[in-house]
Amino acid sequence: MLDVLRGKTAFPPPVWMMRQAGRYLPEYRETRKRAGSFLDLCYNPDLAVEVTLQPIRRFGFDASILFSDILVVPHALGRDLHFEEGRGPLMTPLEVAEIDGLETERFHVNLSPIYETVRRLRADLPDETTLIGFCGAPWTVATYMIAGHGTPDQAPARLFAYRHPQAMRRLLKLLADQSAAYLIRQIDAGADVVQIFDSWSGVLDGAGFQASCVEPVAEIVRQVHAAHPDVPVVAFPKGAGSRYDGYRAATGAAALGLDWTVPLAQARCLQKDGAVQGNLDPQRLVAGGEALSEGIEAILDALGDGPLVFNLGHGITPETPIAHVEAMISQVRSARK
């Protein structure tokens, strides 16, 4: 996988899934019960290592991604956070006057259990299994901090940026700096690759995308590469559409995560400049059968001659049958040109 992320072609391609440790696995659900709460699971190295390893034991994916959540960054900055069943993450909405008071002094102390999880994972994983660290992109993390919860179109954060542009710039810069430091510590602890998830980049206009998505991610990549120049950074600006074009060059990311709406013709063009990752519709994996097989075949046919990490176009959903995951892995790994 590391060779592919650095621009080489391998066929069949390496394969893993976003959210591969999660509620579709019975062993995850059992471990989650033991944890008490979702955040307790994220901050308990014993349990976080266990759930990260579960899909590797079951499926033998080529990469393992740290089990955590993008919102541990604002939590480590002193913001309250809890997860409610059926509603997701809940926080007290951030006010303009609170930005400069975010607590950076204990940031790494608060995240020390996660660094311990990474260290243990690198020791426990097979040598050939790539370990992926990650963070949320500043814009996506900011949307939750400002609204206090997920929203369909992130209107609260967009309005905040229009009304308080200087405050938004300060918030995004602070999140970029802290997120870069967080990724660097993950690499120091043993992560081979890091990924930046910008789940809400698709809701912005052109100027907003440049200021809130491109520039903060470019700053993270710059800082990570200053500390670890050989570690690939994967950037996933979900919903970016035509703005994927030029995003790699503008941010410095080694590889692009593609959501399932990206046309394969566009993906082929993006692949000329480096690795792409994705982009099977997660609902094809739920459906299984012909829909799954056709989706896999189309991606392999279109992108198999270049650097490709086979993945979903977003995270696996809880209702996905395990047998469908097994079928996907089998088809990818048995593929022949």
Catalytic machinery residues? 19, 23, 32, 69, 144
By 3-state DSSP, what share of the chain in percent is helix, strand and coil, each rounded to 5?
55, 10, 35
Q: What is the DSSP letter of 244?
A: G
Residue written as token pair 């993450």? 89
Q: Among positive and negative, which fits the CA dihedral 285, 327, 22, 175? A: negative
Tokens of 186: 């993950």
Determine the 3-state secondary structure of 167 from DSSP: helix
Collect all residues with Cβ–Cβ distance below 8 Å to 34 and sequence separation of at least 6: 47
Give start and end residues of each alpha helix (H) in the chain.
2-5, 26-35, 38-43, 45-59, 72-76, 107-110, 112-124, 138-147, 155-163, 165-189, 206-209, 215-227, 247-251, 264-271, 282-287, 289-303, 322-334
Residue 238 CA neighbour count, 13 Å, CB half: 20
Q: ∠ CA(219), CA(149), CA(169), 5° rounding?
A: 30
Q: Which two tokens stand for residue 39?
A: 């955040």
Burial bucket for residue 333 (CB in 10 Å: 0-12, 13-18, 19+): middle
Q: Which of 288, 276, 265 is nearest to 313 (CA)?
A: 276
Is the distance from CB of 332 to CB of 298 less than 8 angstroms? no
